[in-house]
Structure 1
């Protein structure tokens, strides 16, 4: 299936107004009616074609000819009408009726639960939402530390938090932990925390371009800003690297003002489970009917596909049919600018046996330790980060890293080092205490 977004998608098609509660209802109404009909139709045809080939022994060419016979095509249309009848006649009118009855929903922002649901939906099918201009397709927005859209004048040092796949700007703290932002706010005055929210189903390089533009716009509107720090979790670290790449390419002034970048569990060289899934798909495709599974799997966002090898540039993917089968790693180097202090954090589910090879590959469930630390056998892709700028947290999974207090403490030490910290030249290693899950330093 071809890419559904333009090769060089820039910034955003609309303004930076996030969806309201009414937009969610309208977006759902569109989903259950006609917006995804072409995807469903292609899936149905693919499944039927695989049955004709596997059971009846028809060639792919003959199976396609059979499907294009006029009365077969008419039968298809009848099936599609039945599939969407319920959505068109009952669900969509009901949803739109709610909007008409409660017009104030147009002015109501999303609740935390709706932010979670819309963020997850954007991660899985966000490129489809963007293509069809569905109102649930998230624009790129900046929020303040208290969850409101960023407004007003900024000055001093600004830290930008960039969340990961299927997540949102509220995911940097939870009921138990205040998060990294709260820790950094306590370190110095004139220190502002901003939290990015964006459509994680888009290409990572497209979001990188958008972030580069967003930060330049922020600086243009706030010339008293004195510096930037970037903190990205998972995909967010790749988006931050992509923004630096395109910001430098466009000679944006904000790039020279970046002091630090921190990547938390980011798959710089790909996510283990994404590559494993495609390898398994390739193997299973040799058996009757299992190709059908592959076609179902392929209906997912371009953002997810970019995680396979950690693609942050347009030319990493634009000449490849990346949805089908196992793709070779055709990335181009995207080094972090040398003037920026780069810090990489890896989690691993290991506790006692720190040298277990299987767990070392799995890492934090989603990203291996080596990928998170930017380590690669090819020097062209090695991120070349000093050992003292790396940290491994044994016992933290992929989703604990982004707000755990031990991680926050390490980042604060990196940003505001003491004389003792500056003399350290080893990887920082922490073993999580099983009862309290607080970090115990190993080095």
Structure 2
């Protein structure tokens, strides 16, 4: 999947309109008829080299076996069935539904559709853009009640930015009130808005779009007095990217930003993403798996940027390759000094265990050091005061987004009591976990 430049993505025709239910059906119809060219070759190659050779067959015997009438017929049947049902059954069936129910063009997505579309965008979002698939999500704001935001806002505006494969609804949880509810309870004229965006795009491309959206928001709402950005996982990186480019473009909204909160954000990369690329590169060097590298293109550009936490265009735009283990070629993206930045990390480690292995794993996806912006190279350190960092033990990557203890800590940071200590790192939450059953 070739990468798109931020300029190209900015002018895609879905930049302002969220998909309707009809768009989702049409997008799925297009996806079911996507060419499978090359995939069957990879499957057959791996099958021959990994399975047949374990039976002691030679290269010639392996090829001869696969070319046998029954085996060849099985391969052809498998791929032709999917192709047939995609071209002649699934896609026409989905389009028939749209034609039968034209009101689907006017119907917004249900919560389950939001989750489906958000997940698909995380994996294939750049592909959707390249092929003009209506499943490609725009960069838009929703209100606290799940509707697209159109009204006026004033006072303190808090914007929550979700992570990879997620959507604006993932900030709510049936068991916890969440960050938004906690801040609304402060009765400080807070307005909660939720960014929804295509997480398969480059993080810096989403940063540009977010910065432009915020500029438009403050231009239309001159009574906004301050802005707070709260990002979970990739959402923290997109917020940092927006701040970086908003400052470069001398946007008005930059002067209104008071707080930035990053929850479990991989500022220096996600461990599992780098491990995945290392394994893939290693497998690709083996003679019998040298084609497996083609499968790297399943990863979206947004996922690629999580490898080292890239938030700038020049972190990636001059690179030729998308696959393999690449050095950390990031450029520093310092945080604006006048903005109060708060960093939250989760860890599945029990505080009493102090396991080095679990500490490296962090919250399953992001290590504690990465989430807290700590790096051995001073150029990349985010240099956030210890009093603005929090580690929550026993919480995984998804729990820290909405857990009540995290929400409580953010509320304390935004509205500190006069007698609260401000010189130590806060470790607010220790959860008892059963390490024997965890894995």
**SS of equivalent to 1:41:** coil
1:20 aligns to 2:20 (yes or no): yes
Structure ranking higher in helix proportion: 2
CA drift of 1:84 comes to: 2.8
Q: Do residues 41 (structure 1) and 40 (structure 2) align?
A: no
State whether structure 2 residue 204 is matched by structure 1 residue 198: no
State how 1:42-81 maps to structure 2 within 5 Å.
42-44=38-40
Q: Tell me by how many angstroms 1:49 deviates.
A: 7.8
Q: What residue in structure 2 maps to residue 66 of structure 1?
A: none
Q: 1:167 Cα deviation (Å)?
A: 0.2
SS in 2 for 1:298: helix
Aligned match of 2:171: 172
The partner residue of 2:424 within 404, 423, 426 is 426
Secondary structure of the residue aligned to 1:273 is helix
* Higher mean displacement: 191-200 or 318-327: 318-327
More moved, 12-21 vs 367-376: 12-21
Compute the displacement of 1:294 (Å). Answer: 3.0
For 1:74-89, what aligned pairs fall within 5 Å after superposition?
84-89=83-88
Counterpart in 1 of 2:329?
Answer: 330
Counterpart residue number, 1:4: 3
Partner of 2:30: 30
| Structure 1 residues 348 and 326, CA gap change in structure 2 (3 angstroms) | same
> Is the Cα contact below 8 Å between 2:163 and 2:199 reproduced in 1?
yes
Deviation of the 1:324 alpha carbon: 1.5
User: How many Å apart are 1:429 and its aligned residue?
Assistant: 0.6
Query: Is the 2:162–2:231 contact (alpha carbons within 8 Å) kept by the matching residues of 1?
Result: yes
Q: For the residues of structure 2 that align with 1:6 and 1:380, how far apart are their CA atoms?
A: 26
Change in 2 beyond 3 A, CA 1:328/1:285: same
Matches within 5 A, 1:261-300: 261-300=260-299
Q: Is the 8 A contact 2:9 2:129 kept in 1?
A: no
Moved more, 205-214 or 97-106: 97-106
Q: Quote the offset at 1:4 in angstroms.
A: 3.0
CA–CA separation in structure 2 for the residues paired with 1:27 and 1:406: 39
CA distance in 1 between counterparts of 2:3 and 2:38 reads 14
Bigger CA drift: 139-148 or 263-272?
139-148
Deviation at 1:79, TM superposition (A): 11
**For the Cα contact (< 8 Å) 2:344–2:372, is it kept in 1?**
yes
Structure 2 distance, partners of 1:256, 1:16, is: 25
Match of 1:321 in 2: 320
Number of equivalent positions: 412
Decide whether the 8 Å contact of 1:388 with 1:428 is kept in 2: yes
Task: Return closer, same or farther for 1:346/1:418 CA change in 2, 3 Å cut-off.
Answer: same
User: Gaps spanning 5+ residues in structure 2: where?
Assistant: 61-75, 434-439
**What do residues 55-74 of structure 1 show as CA deviations (whole Å, max 9, x unaligned)?**
9989xxxxxxxxxxxxxxxx
Aligned twin of 2:214: 215
SS at match of 2:402: coil
CA contact (8 A) 1:11 1:213 kept: no
Provide the rounded CA distance (Å) in 2 between the counterparts of 1:221 and 1:11: 20
Return the offset for 1:305: 0.5
Q: Given the two structures, how large is their TM-score scaled by the length of structure 2?
A: 0.88
What runs of 5+ residues in structure 1 fail to find an aligned partner? 59-76, 436-443
Aligned residues: CA RMSD: 2.4
